[in-house]
Amino acid sequence: MSMVEILAIQPVSDAERSRIEAVDSSIHLTDAGGWFDGEIREGWPDFTTRRYLARDANGTGTREERDALLASAEIILGGFPYPLELRGRAPKLKWFHQRPAGASNLLRGDLWGSDVVVTTSRGFGNTLPIAEYTLASILHFAKGLHRVEVDRSSELLDHRPFKPLLIEGKTVCVIGAGGIGCDVAKLCAAVGMRVVGTRRRPLADGESLPDGFDALHPPGDLHRLLGESDFVAVCCQWTPETTDLIGTEAFAVMKPGAVLVNVARGEIVNEDALVTALAEDRIRGAALDVYVGEFDAAPDARLWSDPRVMITPHTSGGSDESRHRAIDVFCDNLDAYLKGAPLMNVIDWDLGY
């Protein structure tokens, strides 16, 4: 077998290199981590590069040298953020794998909709920490902890607005029963909550409900589920179909006093509709680990200034223990690729994930 050229455009550890190279002796892996930082800095908003790049990271080598690396690559192992100009500079490229789970991360680049096979780490990310964040957010609002800063600012303790809830027996609607949604269901069920959810793919004949779920419904049943749910966890992929999924109509049918938690993508929640729902006291609060335009600028001031809204900088997947398994899925797919077998987690451009 001829040499298979793999280009890693984010750093790979020694352990990751060993695992990748162990898949087959034909593999030649080039670690170009940091080489493209200057291009990334030029192509992405300052708000993004300040977070994801070291302050003095400006790339390595010349444009010609980076072009030469791309020109020989058959497979690229990417991350986030990534160089936006790849397809035209990588004529031999057949497969691109991105370490993150969200397909929407790739919308800015020239691979979207191209003839290159693109896979993600959907279902293999730090799903348990994200689920813990979701449960923590539920408890934060259920116990009225969002009132703490209000009392601190006013220097007056007032127990009446806290109105704590018992979450045992309450219903949570999990939108998207993928890797994150399934872990959310398990944790919420473990504390005695009733868990319902939506999933695009219906249960196959004989397929059991995922652990933790009491019921799983098609997306068309969402509004009915919102009407009976005390908490709503947005865990689905951002696609054209899910853009503004939680909008004016969804808030109108949502159970009064519900809590919204979004750990997916900001564009799934219509923020104007959320502001209105808060102004009209339709919901108790919202926890947003993501928001519209989070790669470009700070959150909407109307939300950021509201004590009933908790906004965090996309940190729900963080923890002291990384359980991200991007290299697991990449190595499994690499073995399948070399054998001519189908790959898992291939992005369907029409579906958007």
Give the residue numbers marked as catalytic. Answer: 265, 294, 314
b/e string for 68-89 if b means 16 or more Cβ within 10 A? Answer: ebbebbbbbbbbbbbbeebbeb
Query: Where do we find the tokens 């159970």?
Result: 255
Place of tokens 């791309």: 70
Q: Which of 95, 123, 100 is nearest to 27 (CA)?
A: 95
Distances in Å between the Cα of 91 and the Cα atoms of 115, 124, 239, 324 are 11, 29, 28, 30
231 token code pair: 């908490």
| Type of residue found at 239 | T
Q: Which residues pair with 330 in a beta bridge?
A: none
Matching residue, tokens 């058959």: 74
Phi-psi region of 176 (alpha: psi -120 to 50; beta: other; left: phi over 0): left
CA distances for 122 relative to 10, 52, 128, 305, 328, angstroms: 18, 21, 13, 33, 12
Rounded CA-CA distance 15/103 in Å is 26
Nearest to 79 by CA among 33, 21, 43, 112: 33
